[in-house]
Amino acid sequence: MYRSEEVGSSEHKGVSNRELCRRFLDAYHPDRLDDLLALLHPEIEWATTETWVERGVWHGHAEVRSGLRRFFSEWEDFSNDEVEAFSDGVDKFAVVTRMRGRSRRTHIPTQMRTSGVFEVRDELIVRIVGHSDPADALAAVAKSAAPASPAETEPASDRS
């Protein structure tokens, strides 16, 4: 899991895709929306998938904030920072995570795999496309990436 102390301010100079991913996942919590938005380009486009309760595309910080507030309001004890796989490309990366939470309405614990492709511009995330199939997300980046080292594409649990 990524630790929140690694999330800095909106300082992004020279940040690797892996570090940007770490910062994103650390800030992906209901009480950290400002930190999350600091990692997103002002022209962010975030496309959710059929795995989300609310499907659609959010444009800009205001829509992302509103959409995530609605999403987070459905959960208690939420986390989505356990990385199962990561694939790095030149201007994008893919990540597969394990999301856990409890429905605020039913109090039923839930967990699921989530995945997405993150495009980067000006060292900020400019586009996020959620994928219901993690293999599709990883393949989307692998097609555009230069040959990566084995450490870039192996499951996170296999690395020390």
Q: Which pLDDT belongs to residue 9?
A: 32
Q: Which pLDDT belongs to residue 8?
A: 30
Helices then strands (H, E): number in the chain?
Answer: 5, 6
Specify which residues 121 forms β-bridges with: 124
The CB-based long-range contact list for 38-41 (8 Å cut-off, 24+ gap) reads 38/9, 38/10, 39/10, 39/12, 39/124, 39/125, 40/64, 40/124, 40/125, 40/126, 41/121, 41/122, 41/124, 41/125, 41/126
* CA 101 to chain CA mean position, Å: 16
85 vs 61, 73, 109, CA distance in Å? Answer: 27, 27, 23
Distance CA 83, CA 67 (A): 23
How is the beta sheet containing 92-103 ordered, strand by strand? 57-59, 40-47, 124-131, 109-121, 92-103, 75-88
Q: What is the pLDDT of residues 128-146, one digit of tens each?
A: 999 888 999 999 998 776 5
Kindly report the pTM of this predicted structure: 0.79
Q: What is the pLDDT of residues 79-100, one digit of tens each?
A: 998 999 999 998 999 999 999 9
